[in-house]
A and B are shown apart, each in its own frame.
Chain A
Amino acid sequence: MSQKQYWKGLEEQQGTEAHKVAASNEFSEPLPFDMSEGLLEAQTPRRDFLKYLGFSTAAAMLAASCEMPVRKVIPYAIKPEDIIPGVPNYYASTFVDGGDYCAVVVKTRDGRPIKIEGNDKSSINKGASSARVQASVLNLYDTARLRGPLADGKEATFEAIDRSITASLASSKKTVLLTSTVLSPTSKNAIQQFLAKYPTAQWLTYDAISYSGMLLANEASYGKKTLPAYHFENAKTIVSLGADFLGTWLSPTEFAKQYAQGRRVSAKNLEMSKHYHVEANHTITGAAADERATCKPSQMGAVAVALYNAIQTGATPNLGTEKLNALVKNAAADLKKGNGLVVAGSNDVAVQTVVNAINSAVGANGTTINWAVTSNYKQGIDADFVGLVQAMNAGQVDTLIMQNVNPVYESAMGDQFESGLSKVANTITFASHLDETAQKCKYIIPDHHYLESWGDAEPKSGFYSLMQPGIAPIHKTRAYQDSLLTWAGATETYFNQWEAYWKNKLGGQTNFDLALQDGVIEPEQETMGGASFSGNLAAAMQQINATKAGKTEVVVYEKIAMGKGGAWSNNPWLQEMPDPISKATWDNYACVSPKKAKELQAELTSITEVVAAKTVIKIKIKGFEVALPLVVIPGMHNDVIAVALGYGRSEKIGRAAANTGKRVAPLMHYNGATFVAYNDVTIERTNETYEIAQTQTHISYEGRPILHEYTLEEFKKNPNELIEERAKEIGHFASATPWENHEGGEKEAIDANKLAEDFRVNGTLYPNYEHLGVHWGMSIDLNSCIGCGACVVGCQAENNISVVGKHHVLKSQEMHWIRIDRYFSGMPDDADSIQTVFQPMMCQHCDNAPCENVCPVNATSHSSEGLNQMTYNRCIGTKYCANNCPYKVRHFNWMDWNGADAFADNLYEDGRRDDMNDELTRMVLNPDVTVRSRGVMEKCSFCVQRLQEAKLTAKKAGEPLKDGAARTACQQACPTDAIIFGNVNDKESAIHKVRHEQQKERLFYVLEQIHTLPNVNYLSKIRNAEEVIGGNEVKDGLMNDHI
């Protein structure tokens, strides 16, 4: 190419001098800066004026309105291999809290865990989870967690602490390692290495919620100091003597899953287990039971003996109340038919021995109780602990190392333990919080949260589960196994040992990787095995007969949300989760029967139920008294007071835990062999009151057809009863009216689906909207629902639902998108007559939604897929939609719960919930769900973000949406599979099958007759009982007495 020269003019071509000068100047003309004196005197005042105006406006805008807050966003310099921003990663792991176990899948977004789900691959929990498992992710971001090791209350380095501990351990004459139940085989290895290094060291296991009674009884009865594996799914008859196996007993998530299998009735499958339940207080297991009776906790042994005698000799029980006698008699008869299972919640060796004898007698061992596989959930023996307390107080212990125990708070002997602690020279704890015991310890070396840990668990013999972290340790914490290994002088870290152990056991890297991916390593089939009873039944019976009942007894129980306390006490989600039975939040209290309340001049009526200030009573035992407000719970034994663990903690555990309720552990007592959770007490009314924040105050469903209950017999006799009831209400919209058919004398079966379809089309003046394509629907089985609340917390975690604090719960301003309504029926004075039903209630996504047409600004509208959607940006907060919602499931953002509105300093603060807005805690928020601002309405969205994700995935793959690809958070959390969700237009979907084939007889819609056309249906409750009391005006005294 030729280098052509182009020139702009003759000057350039000729290269004149003048041009050279001009070209050397960048700007050929003088710049239009006007240096004249004033603006108006300038040569071009208009243009300058505009310039100045423009500049000053821009400057003012910059200065005034563009003060952007500095947000720390750090991009990846090198993108980690697995992390794609906006795309979640899932890791199989294991939830372990002492002996509480759940195989889980951890959802992480951008490197932070945000949601926990049950692991479907586990044969133990089979994808189920509990409220605590769901909430455990929040504990990871707990601001009250210790941020590093402490020595004598001061920050210290691991090296310094290790040095001084190693030195003192070497000279320690007696070292005790006190742990809660350890499920992990590799941790046990680490402990063994430690024990090997220090031969004087002793390892003791202590469980705050003790099962020593069972362990010892099993040792005496079967020669095995262990717990068997239970199989509620195999049981035709279940008898529970105070064991809350669906809520808190041993492994409730596992048992709930099994139990639900025996409770799924349909017109085609009329088989259903029969569940007898005896208890002192009211638990969700009692609520699920078919026949329920109450007794004092001290009399549980007598009930067991009566049951044994009734089975063996057919002796008529004589236990005081008619219902209890009948229950024992019928239970005995049913147990004899085989496939029976008896469980007892008592921690008394004698009671458990009798229960073992019964299980042997009815052949439970080998069918419903498996002795070939043992459960490892609880291993602590109370006597060991009591021995330790004595040794400590005698000054015989030099070093005490504690892992996941907090005896000062948890134990009935907390005071003695505390005084003993002061006599121990070296006290070391791995506590994550500065808890009651840690406060007294010399060294605190905080352990990782399980979501930061490598590890494993063997919940049942031969069943393994691996634990892998979802995030690097947030604080300066160290795995307790590493601490022990360091002190043992091991050269390898716990992680290395763990990895080597599993690679070795599984045979190579590939298998190891696969196992890590699956999370569980389990045998194909669980082998069943029995055991024969060889215990001393006579002695046990004698001991039981010698037990005297107190006039008034107290039962110390675990709340589903709170358990023994621990770190859960500082979990705002769990604090605000309504207790399934009492519906109370943020507190513990004394549960009493309506009759007892009347005696204490604190009667519960429809007028007084709205008063939150509850009368305070004093509960006294020798040397200890506690004042708690009373909450009336129908179904409580009249002479029993029930109080919950997990409260009465200090600011040091965290702000959510602080200053609420009372510590009640001292009300338990040591009977010489085990700790038992009841005591004789005296109670005294005070004139004080205390406000309890309950989310539900009315206890009766008033016999309204918002839920339907039948006995199994009624259902067998006429499975179509519910359809007939529905037809009576809405049948006149059918083209061929049902009464015309009936008049002919011959009763023609009503087609349930046609009934609903006719009503949909004819029940309105407006044209019918055809729902083509996807049409989402949900079905909730009231028979499977046990009211455990896992869905409530699961929903809260998934959908960024705000915690509002006690003050606003008191004002009924809580935000839970799903609530579980709990209804009692029966006679208030007769605890044994009470039947309890749970009904989960969330947005029904009505196809003819009353909320939608009243919104003045169209902020809530219907999608073509049948979703009732909220447009937060459009909402102006008139609350008209909430008023017009017949289900009352809409929740308003009353305050600035989470700093998401335009006002700078109006974040709602109440002390106890404030950590929810900490920068650390906010890491738990789900980025897929908008954090709602103050002043807008919100409600269940059917987890629309999950639905969208599933649809997009299917679209990308070029396939139709598969059933089960989209699961709602509540559905996934539910341990009993009570919730089924899917596309009702898909004929192959589970929801379609439930509605049109399997369960059309039990199906109903709440408030169907007002033509809201809900997309949520319920399945009627079938009780395998003699009668259903709810709504029976003669027998359901709560309905009428209650005005």
Chain B
Amino acid sequence: MHLKYESSTREPLVEGNKTYHQVTEDICKPIEQKPSRLWYIGFFFSISLLLFGVFSVFWEVYWGIGVWGINRTIGWGWDITNFVWWVGIGHAGTLISAILLLFRQGWRTGVNRAAEAMTIFAVMCAGQFPIFHMGRVWDAFYVLPYPNSRGPLWPNFNSALLWDVFAISTYFTVSLLFWYSGLVPDFATIRDRAKTNLRKRLYGLASFGWTGTAKNWQRHEALSLVLAGLSTPLVLSVHTIVSFDFATSVIPGWHTTIFPPYFVAGAIFSGFAMVQTLLIMVRKIFKLEEYITLAHIERMNKVIVLTGSIVGVAYLTELFMAWYSGVEYEQAAFKWRILGPYWWSYWAMMSCNVISPQFFWFKKLRRNVPFTFIMSIVVNIGMWFERFVIIVTSLYRDYIPGSWSYYSPTWPEVGFYLGTFGLFFTCFFLFAKYFPVIAIAEIKFILKTSGNNYKEKMAPIEEKSVEEFAHEMEHAH
């Protein structure tokens, strides 16, 4: 599955002098210890945010969407902006676990568990918005194609919003399965180490009777491959379909064929930024710097500068197309984006998404942890603005000037958004406490090829001449 020998010029993926046992110890430590004060503070804060979000949503459902700022012209505001933003964030996990798995990228093992968890939590957060942006959320089940006594009356399969329902739910299901199947051997490890009965029982339940036999591993590997194969198209399809919400419409600024690739690139861009934000915190708090190394951070920064440049090109392409198409409504839509009352959102997007990632062309900055941390937040602010720009600043001045309007969010909208942060971090804190944040089994896969101490052992071998090495190998037994 993985290379037996790796060139010593490649950076080690696990630093320090690690043995298999040490790896298990390091990663299981947070689960087996009492959480730190910092964890409690963070968890309490997240729960409070979540409760505020629940209250905001309750307020909106009870009184009506009118407590938000959206209006007859701008029918989607922070709600769908946040939806697309969270879905975008939820892209890195699957990309890392599926596509990088298929491409045999060993470095993914240090980050994939946390990234996948992030994906799942982000998609959970994202899902809240399309549900609660409905005027009659209690009738939300109408979107499901179930046999009914109304004719039967089916949903409208022409609607991109319906495709969204399928795309997001499929993506969520597959991501969850993928994530969980990876967790099974690690849960078994924790079970086997458990000193309390309850822990033994719960992790025993969660590990589905994993015994670590060769057959277990073989099936596990096969399942991983199948799920990776399933998820790979999903990484591309989910945001493509989300972009169809806009691309299949007639609104200038939305009706664009460039949207699918542009959205996918943007999603990976923001997803990686979010992974950076979380992992830089995790490696610091749980002292996992030896597993999540500067090399990991640098690699992800490379992805960020690549995808950031792709979205930059997409932005410029949009401008070019507006000019080149000769469609005056399209041209005006971009004029008003750049110079209208929402000019600040466009320029926030441009500077955060296009200009700032260019700093990552410098190796020093790519390997600078505080800088990366700040940049990861900047990128996500930028990507939030990108969605805001696409949604709100396309709608606010479209075809008929008489209908133009403006929009500012109200507290329940902001509260809803903060609430999803609460949900996300509540889940993430629970995850960090109760789940192995790094895939123990998978990191062990690469330990002997890419671990620092093993690579050092390789050095004398590397120095040997080819003949000598071949001779030794032949007569090893």
Contact = CB atoms under 8 A, between A and B. Distances in A.
A875 B135 contact: yes
B70 interface: yes
A814 B407 CA distance: 14
B251 interface: yes
B296 interface: no
B161 A876 contact: no
B38 interface: no
A935 B400 contact: no
Nearest to A854: B159
A874 B53 CA distance: 28
A402 B254 CA distance: 63
8 contacts: A812-B405, A854-B161, A856-B142, A856-B155, A880-B159, A886-B398, A887-B400, A1043-B339
Contacts of A1012: 250
For A875, A879, A903, which residue has the most chain B Cβ atoms within 10 angstroms? A879
Interface string A799-823: 0000000001001111000010111
B135 A883 contact: no
A706 B400 contact: yes
B328 interface: yes
B28 interface: no
B295 to A, nearest CB: 45
Interface string B61-91: 0111111011111111000000000000000
Interface in B268-308: none
Interface stretch (A557-565, A890-898, A997-1005): A890-898
Contact of A936 (B66, B136, B340): B136
Contacts of A660: none
Contact of A700 (B134, B153, B160, B401): B401
A821 B403 CA distance: 8
Contacts of A380: none
A198 to B, nearest CB: 57
A704 B75 contact: no
Is the interface on chain B under 10, 10 to 19, 20 to 34, or 35 or more residues? 35 or more
A945 interface: no
A869 interface: no
B237 interface: no
A888 interface: yes
A765 interface: no
Given A854-B159, A874-B142, A894-B64, A607 B400 contact: no
Interface in B394-433: 395, 397-407
A878 interface: yes
Interface in B128-164: 130, 133-140, 142-143, 153-156, 158-162
Contacts of B351: none
A889 B248 CA distance: 20
Contacts of A1043: 335, 339-340
Contacts of B73: 812, 888
A879 B75 contact: yes
A378 B343 CA distance: 54
Interface of B: 62-67, 69-76, 130, 133-140, 142-143, 153-156, 158-162, 165, 245, 248-251, 328-329, 332, 335-336, 339-341, 343, 395, 397-407
A935 B64 contact: yes
A878 to B, nearest CB: 6
Given A607-B341, A887-B399, A908-B66, A892 B158 contact: no
Given A850-B249, A855-B159, A934-B135, A701 B406 contact: no
Contacts of A841: 400, 402-403
A698 interface: yes
A880 B404 contact: no
Interface in A673-691: none
Contacts of B245: 880
For B62, B336, B404, which residue has the most chain A Cβ atoms within 10 angstroms? B404
B143 A876 contact: yes
A883 B161 CA distance: 12
A394 B186 CA distance: 102
A610 interface: yes
B153 A823 contact: no
Interface in A561-617: 606-607, 609-610
A821 B73 CA distance: 14
A853 B159 contact: yes
**Contact residues of B: prevailing secondary structure:** loop
Contacts of A609: 341
Given A822-B402, A884-B251, 6 more contacts: A606-B341, A698-B404, A813-B72, A854-B159, A886-B250, A895-B67
B228 to A, nearest CB: 31
B136 A935 contact: yes
For A606, A822, A886, A888, which residue has the most chain B Cβ atoms within 10 angstroms? A888
A696 interface: yes
A97 interface: no
For B64, B397, B404, B406, which residue has the most chain A Cβ atoms within 10 angstroms? B64
B400 A858 contact: no
A1006 interface: yes
B398 A812 contact: no
Interface string A722-759: 00000000000000000000000000000000000000
A857 B142 contact: yes
Nearest to A810: B71
A306 B457 CA distance: 108
Nearest to A905: B62
B158 to A, nearest CB: 4
B142 A878 contact: no
A882 B75 contact: yes
A239 B328 CA distance: 39
B301 to A, nearest CB: 36
A704 B140 CA distance: 39
B66 A808 contact: yes
A634 interface: no
A908 B71 contact: no
Contacts of A877: 65, 134-136
A850 B136 contact: no
Given A888-B403, A892-B135, A879 B76 contact: yes
Shortest 8 CB-CB contacts between residues of A and residues of B: A877-B135, A821-B402, A894-B66, A935-B135, A610-B406, A879-B75, A888-B403, A812-B71
B64 A874 contact: no
Contacts of B63: 895-896, 906, 908
A1007 B399 contact: yes
B65 A935 contact: yes
A538 interface: no
A695 to B, nearest CB: 9
Given A697-B405, A906-B64, A935-B135, A811 B140 contact: no
B66 A701 contact: no
Contacts of A607: 340-341, 343
Contacts of A937: 135
Contact of A895 (B66, B155, B404): B66
A702 B407 CA distance: 21
Contacts of B159: 853-856, 880
A1010 B335 CA distance: 20
Given A697-B406, A856-B162, A821 B400 contact: yes
Contacts of B400: 706, 821, 841, 886-888, 1006-1007
Contact of A908 (B64, B138, B153, B339): B64
Contacts of A858: 153-156
A983 interface: no
A892 B155 contact: no
A812 B143 contact: no
B94 to A, nearest CB: 25
Nearest to A583: B402
A902 B399 CA distance: 36
B24 to A, nearest CB: 48
A839 interface: yes
